[in-house]
Amino acid sequence: MMLSRKFPTYLSQSLSRGLRQTTQLPYTSEQQYKVLDVLNTSSEKELRKWLGPSLVMRIIDQREENGPFKSLESLFGIKGVKESSLFKLCEFVLFNRKEEKVLLRHTCLTPALPDACIESIQNVVGLVIEPSCTTCAVMDRTHHLLKLGLFDSRLRENTRLSIPLLYEVARDIYPKIIHDDAIFVMEQYTLNLMPKGQYRMAGHLLQSMIYTMLNFGEPDQPKVFQIKPQTLTNLFSLRVGSERIGCELAVRSLIDNGEVLAPEHLVRRFDKETTVNREYLGLSILRSLAILRLCNL
């Protein structure tokens, strides 16, 4: 385990010195062979368990064009390969991290996502439900971003709130976020920790209504999962020391490194929104991707 913690430092030092000998990396010959064997023999689907889709395609293209990889450091000639990418792959291959991720999935999602449901996942809809607006991001299992939605909830701090009004808002939003062959993910909260204040309480009541609508009458249960906020922070490194990284910046980084495949028209749509709305949309995207990461898709 000490080896896995020291790996980024060793690798960074190797790169800064311009080394190209795999003997400089902190791996035995047997460990290097094991990782290289995975890179050279795994199918596209298998590699996608560990690496982003566009990076996988570049690795496969390189493999088909130039033959098997002969060293770990030869990967750095491929666009998009970073220390973190290779570190992630080595963690899975050498230290069997997959079992830990399955355990993580069962502890950070409510209800737990059954193993039998994972193979049938086609699309994930990440939801952010606030009193002022609702945002959604639809992503398929290959990390292609299919849709972004932002809908005015029509609730303001001076609105005279009531259960019938919240129901009307929920009924208006529901058909706009429903998506075929999809599971839904929203924020997890507990009733005893709900924020004080009528306006914030209204947001949670609205989320509860939409949660019920999405699940109600569905033959395949459950359809809606709640994810802990801390899970997103850990998965996407949204906190560095005391500094919090915005969801917008995290999403742009994921698009740049190819883990999220976003068409140009959705990127333009994202760019045109206000700062607050970009943050909400970014949070929706991260919630969708979190499910796929936790399921090793």
Closest listed residue to residue 187, CA positions, set 169, 172, 173, 200: 200
pLDDT value at residue 158: 67
Bond before 222 cis per omega within 30 degrees: yes
Distance CA 180, CA 170 (A): 19
In DSSP terms, 133 is beta-bridged to 152
pLDDT value at residue 215: 87
Q: Is 203 left (phi over 0), alpha (psi -120 to 50) or beta?
A: alpha
**pLDDT tens digits along 240-292:** 666 788 899 999 989 988 889 999 999 999 999 999 999 999 999 999 999 99
- Mean pLDDT value across residues 136-144: 94
pTM of this prediction? Answer: 0.66
Kindly report which listed range (39-53, 84-98, 283-297) carries the lowest average pLDDT score.
Answer: 84-98
Of the pLDDT bands very low, low, confident and very high (cuts 50, 70, 90), residue 105 is low
Token pair recorded at residue 214? 């999405």
Is residue 225 predicted with pLDDT exceeding 80? yes
pLDDT value at residue 75: 76
Look over the chain and give the mean of its residue pLDDT values, rounded to a whole number.
Answer: 78
Is residue 150 predicted with pLDDT exceeding 50? yes
**pLDDT tens digits along 208-221:** 999 999 988 766 67
- Mean pLDDT value across residues 229-235: 83
Residue 162's Cβ-side half-sphere holds a number of Cα atoms within 13 Å equal to 4
Give the DSSP per-residue string, 44-109. HHHHTTTS-HHHHHHHHHHHHHH-S---GGGGGGSTT--HHHHHHHHHHHHH-THHHHHHHHHHHE
Of the two residues 57 and 169, the one the predictor is more confident about is 169
Token pair recorded at residue 245? 């990284």
In DSSP terms, 127 is beta-bridged to 136
Of the pLDDT bands very low, low, confident and very high (cuts 50, 70, 90), residue 128 is very high
Q: Which amino acid belongs to residue 201?
A: M
pLDDT value at residue 179: 86
Is residue 20 predicted with pLDDT exceeding 60? no
Token pair recorded at residue 165? 């009004």
Query: Domains of the chain (ranges plus CATH)?
Result: 29-99 (1.10.150.280), 104-295 (3.30.420.10)
Token pair recorded at residue 157? 């701090």
